[in-house]
Structure 1
Amino acid sequence: MSTPFRQFQAFHATLQRGTVTAAAEYLGISQPAISNLLAQLERRTKLKLFERTRGRLVPTPEAMVLFDEIDTVVRGLDHVNQAVTDLQNQKAGQLQVACNHALAFGFLPNEIARFAKGRPNLTIAFQSQYSGKVQEWVTAGLFEIGLCEMPVRQEAMEQRHFRFETLCALPEGSGVADKPVLTPSDLDSYPFIVMGNDHMVSRRTREAFLSDGAHFRIRCHTDLFRNALNLVKQGLGAAMIDPFTLSADDGAGYVVRRFDPAVLLDIVVVTAKDKPLSAIGREFLDQVLPRMQAVAVG
């Protein structure tokens, strides 16, 4: 069954932008046209993709599965369209970089701004996503450079590996931060906010408590270091936070202490093995890699 791409594009824009109005503005067509394309897609796929609630479209679970499947395809066409536009306008190159969320709040935007200074004709494609998706985008050629967490699950990727020490953030006035370096015994049964049980930082923190014979008490699970730090600020517990998230924060409402043993976060910079880097990509890495190495351990 062939589905016209415009229907997928309208569907993707509606979920990505949140409303039919925003999707119509993004695609440069009318709201009725978006609604008609969505209705055509539901008829063609025989799937109920939206619930109509108080005048709003609420995506169904089936819609979320479909979105994940077509995301790379739609972004790929957007990437091609941008490349055509750049060629037509004789632009002086495009920086194409994607990263995990931790690096997107301060570090990488700052580096992009530094790189763009003095390059008025440079166009920039920058997105943040979960690490697995970043790797998919680089493999598919949607982005030239990816910065993400280990492990690397995509084949044929060049990898530059860095390790960063996470620090223990605790609510201000918690009463357990009177030492410059904390151990699992110091935080025995103290509530923790973690990045999911399978995340490397959560796993390594749990292993440190287990080795020390201390109780690792998990109070909250979340998906971003930024979210974990915000929960710390609200007094819900401690969290191991990466240095990039900490450096992009105002530092209010919490204290930071080193943790012994060190809990490390593995970050890789990935590029496609089968595709040579552009001159723009090489120059950007020449700037960014030393900056990452300056923060890394070892």
Structure 2
Amino acid sequence: MSLRFRQLQAFHAIVETGTVTGAANQLGISQPGISNLLAQLERHTRLKLFERSKGRLIPTPEAGVLYQEIDTVVRGLDHVAQAVTDLQNKQAGQLQVASPHSLSFGMMPKLIAEFSADKPDMSIAFQSNYSTKVQEWVLAGLFEVGICELPLLYDSFETEMFQFETLCALPEDSPLAQYDVLTPEILEDEPFIVMGPEHMTHRRTREAFHNAGKRWRPRVHSHLFKNNLSFVKEGMGVTILDPFVVKFDREGGFITRPFRPAVTIEMAIITSKARPLSAIGQEFRKILSAELAAYRI
């Protein structure tokens, strides 16, 4: 017996709507087309599937049994068709993004929420970690799109580079607020909250003080910009921050000033050269690029 899915779909639609007209409207084909498909199905199965009563088609007991068997199949394939449409319209799929911690406390959740607002069926995988780990994740295929600080440890990425200027954060009641710009001369012997010695902001701030011939006084060493800002709010010193922690802090308790010579930080959007980027990934990468571009120098 050779049953075609279109025959089963037509039969299913007739049971659902009760009429050939309703089935035709549901499937978007002509009434004669529906009638022909039903006739083919009855011929192939050698079963009478409907009785006519006052313009409606009443399923026979045999039709009731057949309907129960094919209902899951028809609905399942309808869901597949809808999933394909959603993917074509970028309404479904999975967004897989990883970023450094500093972007995870405000910027990335906000951007992902805005991106997914019209994509209710899209699933989201987001993680933050140190930049070396983000690179490993993208390289391994665990995430499609990554944002990381430089340097890049592998040559297996498609990249877009960004450079940002940091800001000097200080307690809101600090007497240093009188200055419009802070320098090593002004901040000599001021207690600093700093990132680890391997971090680019640590090296570049130390170099700025060295070149000015001024003493730099690191007091607290931490590993996250967010932690450093918390120490500033407690009055333990000043710190150099990336612009994202500053922008998305909602608590206050600190002020910022430019620092000269400027201490910059470089980041990159990375994707794998070895794997094609999904339509969702491509769309999000464009939006992420535009967002980061607003902060670049």
Alignment correspondent of 1:247? 247
Aligned length: 212
Distance 1:154 1:123 in 2: 28
For 1:187, the equivalent position in structure 2 comes to: 187
Distance 2:211 2:159 in 1: 31
Q: Give me the TM-score of the superposition, normalised by structure 2.
A: 0.69
Q: CA deviation at 1:173?
A: 2.0
User: Can you give the 5+ residue segments of structure 2 that lack an aligned partner in the other structure?
Assistant: 1-79, 87-91
Shift of 1:154: 2.3
Once the two structures are aligned, what percentage of the paired residues are identical?
A: 50
Q: CA RMSD in A?
A: 1.8
For residue 161 of structure 1, what is the aligned residue in structure 2?
Answer: 161
SS of residue paired to 2:174: coil
CA distance in 2, matches of 1:245, 1:129: 15
Q: Secondary structure at the match of 2:97?
A: strand
Match of 1:206 in 2: 206
Q: Secondary structure at the match of 1:281?
A: helix
* Cα deviations by residue, 1:243-290 (Å, 9 ceiling, x for unpaired): 100111125221110011110011111110111111101100111101
CA–CA distance in structure 1, aligned partners of residues 135 and 273 of structure 2: 13
Superposed counterparts of 1:47-126, under 5 Å: 90=83, 92-126=92-126
- Structure-2 residue corresponding to 1:196: 196
Residue of structure 1 in register with 2:9 after alignment? none
TM-score of the pair, normalised by structure 1:
0.69
Residue type of the alignment partner of 1:150:
L
Give the letter aligned to residue 208 of structure 1. Answer: A
Letter in 1 for 2:271: T
Measure the CA separation in 2 of the matches of 1:154 and 1:136.
9
Distance 1:203 1:288 in 2: 28
* SS of the residue 2:176 aligns to: coil
Whole-angstrom distance in 2 between the partners of 1:250 and 1:205? 26
The offset of 1:102, in angstroms, is 0.5
1:178 aligns with 2:175: no
Q: Any idea what SS the aligned residue of 1:266 has?
A: strand
Letter of the 2:217 counterpart: R
Q: C-alpha offsets along residues 131-188 of structure 1, whole Å, 9 cap, x if unaligned?
A: 1111000000000000011111123111111011110001122212211111110000
The structure whose Rg is larger is 2
CA distance in 2 between partners of 1:108 and 1:122 (Å): 16
Look up the match of 2:29.
none
